[in-house]
Chains A and B, each alone.
Chain A
Amino acid sequence: MKKYLAFALAALMMLSVVSVSLAESYEVTEPITIQWWHAHEDRFNPQIEYMIEKFEEENPLITVEPIYIGSYSEINTQLIAAVASGDVPALCTANTSYPASYGAAGICEVLDPYIEATDYDIADFGEGLIASTSYDDQQICLPYLISTQVMFYNQDVADAEGIEMPKTFDEMDAFLEKATVFNEDGTTKRYGTVFAGWDYWYFEMLYKNNGVSVINDDGLTTDVNGEAAVYVTNKIKEWIDKGYAYFAYGTDASANMRQLFWDGGTFSVFHTSSLYDLYVAQSDFTVGMCWLPGGMDGESFKSEVGGSVILIPAKASQAQKNAAWVFLQFMTSPEINLYWADNTGYFTTRQSVLASDAVTEYLERKPAMKNVMEMSSWINPRNQHPLYNTIANLWRDSLAQIYVEGAPVQDTLDSLAAEVTEELEDQ
């Protein structure tokens, strides 16, 4: 017995020595300044300052220099250039559409050893978000500010006119008929909804929940001209032609769509949950927020993760990476997670936060968030194919030709499918 006990003790000590040495290899032992590239506009400066002050108080060896780069697209451009030159920031936020490409190219530091060494509770994010920030079964970044596709609607009008939000694609017909108001001359006075079309992410779940794959699981074929895709496209085109909806497309489409909603020109819009605060602040009516309609089967309610992730570029020095990891842990901690969510309109991503009193108070202030957060287990990772972004943009442009310019549905989708197949074959 004594022998086993001694053996167990020795093994335990050995294990602790290994863990301690592992943790030590990621420790910050000297003062260091790290750059954090982000996409937060000036209005978030007070929150950023608050968080960095708090972090630097807790970690006096690390100084964080936050740098606003611009939109996610601009961050992508700058990050690629930085990686090419080897002069990278210690930490960088990126849109959720990029991790797969970055992972395939080895741009991100693999975080698994850091997670293991510091006992970081990665499981607290839930499976969907972990998968969204992984590539090839390796954790390459962490969920940062997460959102999903939603419909915003005028709650006051819905209550007054008895309009029910559609739960499935089949219910869209009745919903749009009821929510749309026409002028006497037949033109649309109030749209039932507006499909945000400048980014495929906003509307792609209408297709995916109905079984359409832009890139099939084999990674070589596409379903964009299949039966289901043609059906959904024809349906949306029918709604647009009838004046129930329009496809917001172009540079200022987002601003126009929002203004139209605030002016009462549309009953609802397809957009992102991250803009909840903005919609509420600018509206003189109660804003409702609901999940996108599910598939025709009445069971598919999937949505996709949006917003941003946070990553450490692999080309940073180890000292920079160590400091970045400390800051990354802080930025994704439950406390900061809720603070950010409350101040930006993004989701709380930590499951441990959901049960806290703070969230109860938060949901009392933002009741519309409850509808969406209750279904947060349906949030899925985005397609991890490295060419997905390129191909989905081609898809978006073809759909815009159909919806905005009246191009023929089947021919346009067939031509698109041929192009997508060519792209997939030439990877």
Chain B
Amino acid sequence: MGNSSLIRATDIRQSPGIKTLRALLWIFGVIFVLVGVLGYMMGDLQVSGLQTVANEIYAARTAAQNAGAPVSGSVFLFGESFSLLSWDGAISAWLLSAVMNSAVIILLTGVALIFNAVMLKVQSWENMKDLLCVEPALFFFLLFVYYPVIELIRISFTDMRMLSDATFEYAGFKNYRWLFQGSGAKYFVDSLRITATYTFWELFITLAGGMLLALLFNRLTRLFNAMRAIVFMPKYIAVSTSAVVFIWILNGRFGILNSALSVFGIQGLDWLNDAKTALTGVLILTAWRVVGYAMMIYLSAMIGIPRDYYETAAIDGADGVSRFRYITLPLLAPTSLFLFVTTFIASMKVFQSVDVMTSGGPSKATNVLVYWVFNLSFEDFRVARAAAVSVIFFIILLICTALTMRWSSRSVNYDS
């Protein structure tokens, strides 16, 4: 059976139709790649040799914009003195403008065509059908995930400013020198420390608080259902909305938290305006939002633990603490790992609550990495510096996640 299907597949691959298709894929693929590379070099890379043409396209675009009409006219691609078989090298400005705008899409399409041409030769027809189903998703993944990362790395080696992104020069490692040796170093270290502190506490709150609440609410009665819903509810509320409410709850002079503390004779703090307590203020909001979600995840995992384990342990004389220590905790390890990784990545990228509640202050006490990147781009307009910070941040996240996964594969028990 296996042999006959292989022969059939081989036959199909050798058929004249497939051979023609492969040849066409190669031809169009190469054309698309060449055109895409040309557009990418003119637009994103701003290669100096092509800048005359690119500038003409920019001028045509501006004129079209002013006139409220499509780009028109033509551009001499190889200079006005060029001539080949009565063709003077003139190309529609509209076409070149479109190529510059869509260079990456054209390039990726070309790569996809060539890839399929190769695969048609080496893969069976059955495998090709599977591959074709996956390719659209892969295409979008490359375009919207990997291309931005590549662009980010490229921009980090330029002197690009947010307000003048049309013109830039390659600056080598200048932005990285600023980040590690210049005035950026102290902000980077501070930001990393603040982000790490925030992440540590969010992880602690999520894992410990979530598990504690899950143990507390692990009763399948209506009353407990209602209470669970109340604890989970903050997750539904937008961060920005709850952050505005928490600004007032935590207000040093008029906030209800300080009023409540004063009832017990405790001196209130200026939570968000004091550099020593501002991050704690942000973490109070975080705790309020995340703990219910973690509780629900833990609860669903707890329900999945067979009751037999507990009953057997009870017969053997194990008390509640022992049952938790030796049954619940190990069997919740995969859930803890899931929460750890997702919370770790999310908390390292915290932005909204900081933006609304403290704007990175006071005295940069809550200047987490993503907020710093945002400020570098939109307040200082130093987009190249922001890109350099983002690249390093990306690497840090990648390493941390890889180490976690590596550790988990050895230590986490997936048996149930």
Let me know if B363 and A400 touch, CB within 8 A: yes
Let me know if B358 and A251 touch, CB within 8 A: yes
Within 8 A of A (CB), among B171-218: 178, 182-183
Which of B160-168, B225-233, B299-307 lies at the interface? B160-168
Let me know if B66 and A251 touch, CB within 8 A: no
Let me know if A317 and B67 touch, CB within 8 A: yes
Which of A135-143, A169-177, A253-261, A361-369 lies at the interface? A253-261
Contacts A249-B273, A251-B358, A252-B251 given: A426-B178 contact, CB under 8 Å? yes
Let me know if B359 and A80 touch, CB within 8 A: no
Note all chain B residues with C-beta closer than 8 A to A84.
162, 165
* CA–CA, A77 and B378, complex, Å: 6
Let me know if A397 and B364 touch, CB within 8 A: yes
Minimum CB–CB distance from B47 to chain A (whole Å) comes to 21
Q: Is A404 in the interface zone, CB < 8 Å from B?
A: yes
* CA–CA, A47 and B275, complex, Å: 40
Note all chain A residues with C-beta closer than 8 A to B273.
249-253, 256
Minimum CB–CB distance from B33 to chain A (whole Å) comes to 27
* CA–CA, A316 and B358, complex, Å: 35
Q: Is A41 in the interface zone, CB < 8 Å from B?
A: no
Contact among B66, B163, B378 for A105, CB-based, below 8 A: B163
Contacts A317-B66, A318-B68, A389-B379 given: A400-B251 contact, CB under 8 Å? no
Q: What residue in chain A is nearest B163 (Cβ atoms)?
A: A105
Let me know if A104 and B163 touch, CB within 8 A: yes
Number of interface residues of A (CB under 8 A): 42
Within 8 A of B (CB), among A248-291: 249-253, 255-256, 259-260
Interface size class of B (residues with CB under 8 A): 20 to 34
* CA–CA, A77 and B162, complex, Å: 10
Note all chain A residues with C-beta closer than 8 A to B357.
251
Q: What residue in chain A is nearest B162 (Cβ atoms)?
A: A80
| B142-167 near A? 1/0 per residue, CB < 8 Å | 00000000000000000001111100
Q: Is A124 in the interface zone, CB < 8 Å from B?
A: no
* CA–CA, A255 and B247, complex, Å: 11
| B66-90 near A? 1/0 per residue, CB < 8 Å | 1110000000000000000000000
Minimum CB–CB distance from B242 to chain A (whole Å) comes to 15
Note all chain B residues with C-beta closer than 8 A to A316.
65
Q: What residue in chain B is nearest A418 (Cβ atoms)?
A: B183
Let me know if A102 and B163 touch, CB within 8 A: yes
A-B CB pair tally, cutoff 8 Å: 92
| B394-405 near A? 1/0 per residue, CB < 8 Å | 000000000000
Q: Is B254 in the interface zone, CB < 8 Å from A?
A: yes
Contact among A249, A260, A317 for B362, CB-based, below 8 A: A249
* CA–CA, A251 and B67, complex, Å: 45
Minimum CB–CB distance from A323 to chain B (whole Å) comes to 11
Note all chain A residues with C-beta closer than 8 A to B161.
105
Within 8 A of B (CB), among A378-424: 389-390, 393, 397, 400-401, 404-405, 418-419, 422-423
Note all chain B residues with C-beta closer than 8 A to A101.
163, 381
| A47-87 near B? 1/0 per residue, CB < 8 Å | 00000000000000000000000000100110010011010
* CA–CA, A17 and B378, complex, Å: 46
Let me know if B247 and A317 touch, CB within 8 A: no
Minimum CB–CB distance from A76 to chain B (whole Å) comes to 7
Note all chain B residues with C-beta closer than 8 A to A256.
251-254, 273
Q: What residue in chain B is nearest A320 (Cβ atoms)?
A: B68
Q: Is B104 in the interface zone, CB < 8 Å from A?
A: no
Let me know if B183 and A423 touch, CB within 8 A: yes
Q: Is A179 in the interface zone, CB < 8 Å from B?
A: no
Note all chain A residues with C-beta closer than 8 A to B162.
80, 84
Within 8 A of A (CB), among B325-376: 357-359, 361-364
Note all chain B residues with C-beta closer than 8 A to A76.
378-379
* CA–CA, A6 and B66, complex, Å: 39
Let me know if A419 and B183 touch, CB within 8 A: yes
Q: What residue in chain B is nearest A415 (Cβ atoms)?
A: B186
Q: Is B380 in the interface zone, CB < 8 Å from A?
A: yes
Note all chain B residues with C-beta closer than 8 A to A319.
68
Minimum CB–CB distance from A427 to chain B (whole Å) comes to 10
Q: Is B272 in the interface zone, CB < 8 Å from A?
A: yes
Q: What residue in chain A is nearest B251 (Cβ atoms)?
A: A252
Let me know if B178 and A250 touch, CB within 8 A: no
* CA–CA, A259 and B380, complex, Å: 32
Note all chain B residues with C-beta closer than 8 A to A317.
65-68
Contacts A105-B163, A397-B363 given: A404-B358 contact, CB under 8 Å? no
Q: Is A107 in the interface zone, CB < 8 Å from B?
A: yes
Q: Is A302 in the interface zone, CB < 8 Å from B?
A: no
Q: What residue in chain A is nearest B281 (Cβ atoms)?
A: A251
Q: Is A350 in the interface zone, CB < 8 Å from B?
A: no
Q: What residue in chain A is nearest B174 (Cβ atoms)?
A: A426
* CA–CA, A401 and B254, complex, Å: 24
Q: Is A315 in the interface zone, CB < 8 Å from B?
A: yes
Let me know if B362 and A400 touch, CB within 8 A: yes
Let me know if A260 and B363 touch, CB within 8 A: no
Q: What residue in chain A is nearest B65 (Cβ atoms)?
A: A317
Note all chain B residues with C-beta closer than 8 A to A318.
66-68
Q: What residue in chain B is nearest A198 (Cβ atoms)?
A: B361
* CA–CA, A273 and B308, complex, Å: 74
Contact among B66, B358, B378 for A80, CB-based, below 8 A: B378
* CA–CA, A86 and B183, complex, Å: 34
Q: What residue in chain B is nearest A86 (Cβ atoms)?
A: B65
Note all chain A residues with C-beta closer than 8 A to B164.
104-106
* CA–CA, A330 and B149, complex, Å: 46
Let me know if B163 and A80 touch, CB within 8 A: yes
6 of the cross-chain contacts (CB-CB < 8 Å) are A104-B163, A250-B273, A256-B252, A315-B65, A318-B67, A321-B66
Q: Which 7 A-B pairs have the closest CB atoms?
A: A250-B273, A105-B163, A317-B68, A318-B66, A390-B380, A419-B183, A250-B362
Given contacts A251-B359, A397-B361, 19 further A-B contacts (CB under 8 A): A76-B378, A77-B378, A80-B381, A84-B162, A101-B163, A101-B381, A250-B270, A250-B278, A250-B358, A250-B362, A251-B273, A252-B273, A255-B251, A317-B67, A318-B66, A318-B68, A397-B363, A400-B363, A404-B362
